Amino acid sequence: MGKIVVCTMLSVDGYTEGRDGDVMAMPMDQAFAEHNTDRTRTASSFLFGGTTYRGALTYWPQQHDNPDASPLNHYIAKRYAEGIPITVVSDTLTADDTGPWRDQTTIVRRADGHEAVARLREQEGDALMFGSRTLWTDLLAHRLVDELHLMIGPKIVAGDQRAFAGVAETDLRLIGVRTWGGSDNVVLSYGLGRS
């Protein structure tokens, strides 16, 4: 059985982005890159919402052949270039929007999202989510998330929308804590029981 694994960065005050959707307000450092690469190494597929998918599509294909990209970015870009399967839950994305990832991308309409995610959980390997707050909070509310990896950054960003807005009380169990020398970021990893 596979797992739906959410990896997200949170500010100390509980936001995934700053004002006006500014993700660059988050304290992303080398630890952030290392954590994302480590999680990517364990993933069998990616699961995104439409906005995060579009952002990834504008960034990662250019990193594959970029001589100035870090080895960590090269690794993640290589996973995309090698055709790792991507499921996108979106009512606005079309096949014409998928560019170089057309053959590895499956677009699922929001009305069919829960069923599609339930099928991903039945497959071998983990489906990894970066970003996609609207999608993962919906999945969390419907008990379709198996692990939540929260990188807490040492910054108050006073953003526009809290990360867990709309999610009811949910019990979590701590499955890991990770820190890095030279970084004030910490990852708290939580497991959720299957419904």
Rounded Cα gap, residues 109 and 49, in angstroms: 10
H or E element: which one contains 58?
A: helix 50-63
pLDDT digit string, tens, across residues 101-146: 999 999 999 999 999 999 999 999 999 999 899 999 999 999 999 9
Q: Is the pLDDT of residue 194 over 80?
A: no
Of the chain, the percentage scoring pLDDT greater than 90 comes to: 83
Pairing of strands 4-11, 126-130: parallel
Q: In which band, very low, low, confident or very high, does the pLDDT at 195 lie, cut at 50, 70 and 90?
A: low
**39, 79 Cβ separation under 8 angstroms:** no
Rounded Cα gap, residues 57 and 14, in angstroms: 26
**Domains of the chain, CATH where assigned:** 4-191 (3.40.430.10)
**To 5 degrees, how large is the angle CA 42–CA 148–CA 134?**
110
Stated pTM of the model? 0.92
Average pLDDT over residues 65-90: 94
Mean pLDDT, the chain, rounded, equals 93
Cα end-to-end distance, the chain, whole Å: 13
Average pLDDT over residues 42-58: 95
Retrieve residue 91's tokens. 């009512």
